[in-house]
């Protein structure tokens, strides 16, 4: 996230007005989709957006459309900034801290209304960024203050409220959970327990189904109590067949202490005669997978045919972080699906793939989620219901085994020294062919120190290759190996073989200076540092 010149307020205000116009028309234009990326490239820009928001909401007659646009821009920029934070960018970490402090100061000074603060808090959660103790406590206090000024609710009022909420989200448990989990993220675990417990006990079935999502809460105490609540609900006939099947699917992702009550809940459902829920018939028409970008992110998109309508299933994983996002969008027309695929093709290098690549990625990255004690998103259940035929268990695949499987069955002559030499030579040209390689560089803070010690550009590149790239060659081999996996089903071309051969050389003993792709990563690192 390179620092550039200060962001002109007038230009960002003009951008906000364009975003407001797009939002008013309900059109997801390219500009609207990339506004977060543009803002994240300039740390000053997000601060200017926040300043403009504070100024606008403080007016006697604020422009609601402009406020909505500025909030949208904040959310998009936070999402992009989180990727930089995960990549180890120190400027990105500093930016998040600056935004936190500015929000605290503004709220304590009465410059930001509670409802705006709570929206921004939800945006932090959606972007998977930590609110920090001070900002979390402030948002919680504002939420409790708002609740204390509202009317007290009777049990009938609460039932009606849940029914109205479920109706607003078309009784989709994944949509309900997505909305509520962001709102509840600022609450301490003990308060989340009480609220989620009311979802489990709700008379509205879709609210009870949404409660399953808190089995993937970040707090072990919340997860354990939700599991116990689900046992009680199952014993009293409160769980549907679909919920029982989802418990079975999620079971391998949870600790043994949580698996035991889930087994009891499923048994109670089976004893009531509930059979596995029939899934709506769907035909998979298109599967595409992207290569890994420099931060390790990789996507899979699946188009499914459901009767006359189409559905789009999306999966995002990230090396070292696990399954990051998954969702399904229903009721798309063929035109909407084709437009989406075209936009993805413009933004990402994609390969024709199969559902098996998604299952392999999920199994591998779930193991990372468990190792980091960071549960996958509830949307993964929805994705698997749409795309997969059953349960996917966490199982990390080592890079060496991955490459071995990719090259299994490849003729010996295609793996000969001559073929390896040709693949290595071709790797010098890959950055011109594949856009994802433009993001392959070391973002480490050690880059500046390493680059600064060398003299000429060539000396800086050699230093980066020796000091930074060589110790990380296993990581780059892993990214290239999973890119090869994404390309494994390509009908034309043999990219996956060449990718796998070069990945094997990165993983082996060959001098890193003899691997053109590694040399290019060093050059790209120096160029990124200069920018």
Q: What is the DSSP string of 247-267?
A: HHHHGGGS-HHHHHHHHHHHH
Which 8-state DSSP code applies to residue 110?
T
Angle at alpha carbon of residue 142, lines to 141 and 143, rounded to 5°: 90
Q: What is the pTM of this model?
A: 0.84
Under 8 Å CB-to-CB from 352, ≥6 apart: which residues?
A: 287, 288, 489, 490, 491
Residue 331, phi-psi category: left (phi > 0), alpha (psi -120 to 50), beta (remainder): left
Give pLDDT, residue 4.
37
Burial class (CB in 10 A: 0-12, 13-18, 19+), 338: middle
Give pLDDT, residue 304.
93
Helix axes 114-126, 64-86, angle to 10 degrees: 30
Kindly give the pairing relationship between strand 322-332 and strand 350-352: unpaired
Three-state DSSP state, 332: strand
Give pLDDT, residue 153.
47
Give pLDDT, residue 166.
86
Helices (H), 59-108: 64-86, 90-108
Phi, psi of 283, rounded to the nearest 5 degrees: -115, 125
What are the Cα distances from residue 428, in Å, to 214, 403, 502? 47, 20, 11
Low pLDDT (below 70) residues in the chain: 1-7, 26-38, 40-41, 43, 146-159, 277-281, 444-454, 491-493, 531
Which 8-state DSSP code applies to residue 97?
H
Length, in residues, of the chain:
531
**d(C-alpha 359, C-alpha 428), whole Å:** 31
| Residue 75 CB neighbour total at 10 angstroms | 18
Give pLDDT, residue 150.
52
């Amino acid at each position: 996230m390179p620092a550039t010149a200060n962001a002109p307020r007038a230009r960002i205000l003009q951008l906000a007005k364009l975003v407001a116009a797009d939002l008013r028309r309900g059109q997801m234009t390219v500009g609207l989709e990339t506004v977060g990326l543009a803002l994240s490239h300039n740390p000053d820009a997000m601060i200017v957006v926040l300043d403009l928001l504070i100024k606008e909401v403080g007016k006697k007659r604020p422009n609601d459309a402009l406020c909505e646009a500025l909030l949208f821009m904040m959310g998009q920029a936070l999402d992009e900034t989180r990727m930089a934070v995960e990549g180890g960018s120190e400027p990105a970490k500093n930016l998040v801290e600056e935004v936190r402090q500015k929000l605290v100061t503004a709220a304590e000074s009465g410059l930001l209304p509670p409802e705006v603060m709570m929206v921004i808090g939800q945006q932090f959660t959606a972007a998977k960024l930590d609110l920090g103790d001070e900002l979390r406590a402030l948002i919680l206090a504002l939420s409790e203050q708002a609740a204390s000024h509202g009317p007290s609710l009777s049990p009938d009022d609460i039932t009606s409220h849940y029914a109205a909420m479920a109706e607003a989200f078309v009784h989709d448990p994944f949509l309900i959970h997505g909305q509520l989990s962001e709102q509840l993220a600022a609450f301490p675990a003990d308060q989340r327990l009480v609220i989620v417990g009311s979802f489990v006990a709700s008379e509205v079935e879709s609210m009870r189904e949404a409660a399953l999502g808190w089995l993937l809460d970040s707090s072990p105490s919340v997860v354990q109590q939700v599991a116990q609540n689900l046992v009680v609900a199952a014993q009293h006939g409160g769980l549907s067949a679909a919920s029982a099947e989802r418990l079975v699917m999620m079971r391998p992702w949870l600790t043994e202490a949580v698996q035991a009550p889930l087994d009891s809940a499923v048994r109670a459902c089976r004893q009531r005669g509930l059979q596995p829920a029939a899934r709506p018939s769907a035909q998979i028409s298109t599967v595409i997978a992207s290569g890994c970008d420099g931060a390790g992110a990789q996507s899979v998109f699946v188009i499914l045919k459901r009767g006359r309508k189409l559905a789009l299933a999306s999966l995002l994983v990230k090396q070292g972080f696990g399954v990051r996002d998954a969702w399904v969008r229903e009721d798309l027309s063929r035109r909407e699906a084709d437009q989406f695929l075209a936009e993805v093709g413009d933004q990402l290098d994609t390969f024709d793939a199969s559902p098996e690549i998604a299952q392999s990625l999920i199994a591998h990255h779930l193991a990372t989620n468990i190792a980091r004690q960071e549960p996958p998103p509830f949307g993964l259940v929805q994705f698997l219901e749409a795309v997969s035929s059953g349960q996917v268990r966490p199982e990390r695949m080592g890079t060496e085994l991955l490459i071995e499987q990719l090259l299994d069955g490849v003729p010996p002559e295609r793996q000969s020294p001559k073929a390896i030499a040709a693949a290595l030579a071709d790797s010098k040209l890959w950055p011109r062919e594949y856009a994802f390689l433009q993001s392959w560089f070391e973002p480490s803070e050690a880059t500046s120190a390493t680059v600064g010690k060398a003299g000429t550009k060539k000396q800086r590149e050699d230093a980066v290759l020796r000091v930074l790239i060589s110790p990380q060659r296993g990581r780059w081999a892993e990214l290239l190996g999973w890119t090869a996996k994404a390309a494994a089903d390509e009908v034309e071309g043999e990219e996956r073989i060449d990718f796998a051969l070069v990945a094997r050389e990165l993983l082996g003993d060959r001098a890193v200076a003899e691997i053109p792709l590694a040399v290019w990563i060093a050059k790209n690192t120096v160029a990124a540092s200069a920018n």
